[in-house]
Amino acid sequence: MASWAHHIVVDVEADGPCPGLYNMISFGLVSVAYPDLGFLGEVAPIIDSPGLQAARDVVGVSFETQSTYAAPETVMRAAAEWLKHTTGDRRAIFWSDNPAFDWQYWNWYCHKFLGDNPAGFSARRIGDLDAGRRGEPLNTMAWKKHRQTTHTHNPLDDARGNAEGLQWILTEMGETF
């Protein structure tokens, strides 16, 4: 069980496709070893623009509501402390359903507000692990049916469900938790 304690699933909600041009609204971090252990970060906007309405509609958070959230530097420091407490002395290994989206926001906000990313410079895609495990490199969605927590676009729920799905994959590969 301890060997997976430093593996973390990240999920991000944002008002557009990339950091620097759009705002991260919120993020969830969940331990792969202990999916009930999670962190929800809700960050105030850094760009004085509501971004894409379609993205906000998916998340269900208005620009006005997001403006009441804590400053990003405060939230990112708290997330880094949570990571340190959760992973101990080990560098966090990040997993995501879509690191091309989730990781880029997480990484950018870490560098902007912390000066560094406590998880290093890479992330892993859950669907690719499962597709490779099954020998079906183009079928990267099959694992999602093994999430127990409903996908709600609350990033903590989504990260938790993804951690549950990743645990299922790893169990199929002979890992124990």
pLDDT at 48: 96
Q: What are the residue ranges spanned by the domains of the chain?
A: 2-172
Q: How far is the C-alpha of 108 from the C-alpha of 19, rounded, in Å?
A: 7
Give the pLDDT score at 133: 97
Which pTM does this prediction carry?
0.96
What are the 10-residue block averages of pLDDT along the chain, 177 residues in total?
Answer: 84 97 98 96 97 97 98 98 93 96 97 96 96 97 98 98 98 93
Say what the pLDDT of residue 177 is.
87
Relative to beta strand 24-31, strand 7-14 is antiparallel
Question: Strand, helix or coil at 153?
Answer: coil
pLDDT, position 86: 95
12-37 in b/e form (b: 16+ CB < 10 A) is bbbbbeebeebbbbbbbbbbbbebeb
Q: Say which residues have a Cβ less than 8 Å from residue 52's Cβ, sequence separation at least 6.
A: 15, 16, 22
Please tell me the CATH superfamily of domain 2-172, with its number.
Answer: Ribonuclease H-like superfamily/Ribonuclease H (3.30.420.10)
